Amino acid sequence: MHDSLLAGQRVTLERVGIFADGVAVRRVGEETFRLAQQYVDEVILVSTDEICAAIQDIFEDNRTIAEPAGALGVAGIKKYVVREGCAGRTLVSINCGANINFDRLRHVAERADIGAGREVLLAVEIPEEPGSFLRFCQLLGRRSVTEFNYRYDDSRAARIFVGVALHEGRRAKQELLATVAEAGYTAST
């Protein structure tokens, strides 16, 4: 829908994500597109992690579990509130669908803190030499490591995957990424 509204006509996507499968369509319907053109002011794109955080919020607020497509509205509202700095306003999302299988809940629980800005996952390349991991850990300072995985790549470089708890959301994430980059590490989220 986002791409179709931008183009001013229905477009066909080459691929769609499968996490929020209730809204994952390659081409929007004719009538749905017509109505969206007439009534929708904006489409806010959200990540899978942001949807997971919304599912968690819905559960914590009223002890119901929405499917990913059903929680999409809450994820969009949360992103809108941050972007616009909304305060003292009432915003409404219609949550629907409980078509989520039990095995998927593990994935949702693992990714919710990332989507809420309480955790960041980093893929970092460090030198494959004694003491390099210790130096990386010292760089993290007093931050809490939530997850760690090490992959031997070759005799010169190792790839680590590390989860770090964030106490100040996006600002803390940007500060951490800057610290890692300043130390000469290549990191991606």
Condensed to tens digits (0 to 9), the pLDDT of residues 97-145 reads 777 877 788 888 888 888 888 889 899 988 888 888 889 889 888 888 8
> What confidence score (pLDDT) does residue 100 get?
80
pTM, entire model: 0.74
In DSSP notation, 91-132 reads -----------HHHHHHHHHHHHHHTTSEEEEEEEEESSTTH
Structural domain 119-188, CATH architecture: 3-Layer(aba) Sandwich (3.40)
| pLDDT tens digits, 66-86 | 899 999 999 999 999 999 999
Distance CA 121, CA 189 (A): 6
Sign of CA dihedral 163, 164, 168, 174: negative
Task: Using the predicted structure, report yes or no on whether residue 12 has a pLDDT greater than 90.
Answer: yes
Task: Using the predicted structure, report yes or no on whether residue 7 has a pLDDT greater than 90.
Answer: yes
* Backbone phi, psi, residue 18, to 5°: -110, -5
Measuring CA to CA, which residue among 152, 151, 71, 84 is closest to residue 111?
71
Q: Which two tokens stand for residue 188?
A: 């991606």
Task: Using the predicted structure, report yes or no on whether residue 158 has a pLDDT greater than 90.
Answer: no
Distance CA 176, CA 124 (A): 12
> What confidence score (pLDDT) does residue 23 get?
87
Q: Please name the residues in contact with 183: beta carbons below 8 A apart, sequence gap of 6 or more.
A: 139
Amino acid at the residue 140: L
**What share of the chain has pLDDT > 90, as a percent?**
40
* Backbone phi, psi, residue 165, to 5°: -70, 140
Exposed, middle or buried: residue 94 (CB in 10 Å: 0-12, 13-18, 19+)?
A: exposed
Measuring CA to CA, which residue among 132, 127, 112 is closest to residue 54?
112
**Spans of all domains in the chain:** 2-39, 48-115, 119-188
